[in-house]
Homo-oligomer: A and B are copies of this chain.
Amino acid sequence: MASSYKVTYFDIMGLGEPIRVLLSYGGLDFEDFRVQRESWPSLKPSMPMGQMPTLEYNGKIAHQSMAICRFLAKQVKLVGKDDWEDLEIDAMVDTVNDFRQKIAKYHYESNEQLKEEYGKILFNEIIPFYLEKLDSQAKTNNGYLVGGRLTWADLVFLGLLDYMEFMAKKDLLCKSPNLQRVKENVLSVPNIKKYIEKRPNKH
């Protein structure tokens, strides 16, 4: 039987990984279509906004990774208990993505001097600030990011963590015990554990 879901992304974890983790959590069968770098230029114009990842479902195609994750969170029932908790989850997801973008700005900077200057601010101020705030949030929520239980914010965090650590060239959680608990709590879910064990471990 054909998969109902098709994820199209580069052959790396990157922004595609939270989507793959959410689908795996729900035990939803999906085609994990991985575009090789050399095929991308010819494929790019056919993508909505010229970007990946995309999700195909029931003959329709969607883009924007976090919008896709929010949709899948509803499918697999990892959303908030009411509209306010959904707002708290959304705010956490946006904060994790702000953090990712600040690290990406460093990783993708091609001017060595600018990279070094920004690196000082990133490693001395920005990363410690975010980690402290996020770790405190995880402490309050008993090893989860929102609501004291597993939500899609935790899966997004776990899904983006490898990419962020790859870009920062740094173990980000070594001094953040409560964020380590978030990571462990997500990884202990049997469906996710199973996915992580067999996934292509590429950056």
Contact = CB atoms under 8 A, between A and B. Distances in A.
Interface of A: 48-50, 57, 60, 62-64, 66-68, 70-71, 74-75, 83-84, 86-88, 90-91, 93-95, 98, 114, 129, 133
A98 B51 CA distance: 12
Chain A interface, >50% SS class: helix
Stoichiometry (number of copies): 2
Nearest to A70: B90
B74 A91 contact: no
Contacts of A50: 129
15 contacts: A49-B133, A57-B84, A62-B88, A62-B91, A63-B91, A64-B90, A64-B94, A64-B95, A66-B90, A67-B90, A67-B91, A67-B93, A70-B86, A71-B84, A71-B86
A83 to B, nearest CB: 5
A98 B95 CA distance: 15
A50 B128 CA distance: 14
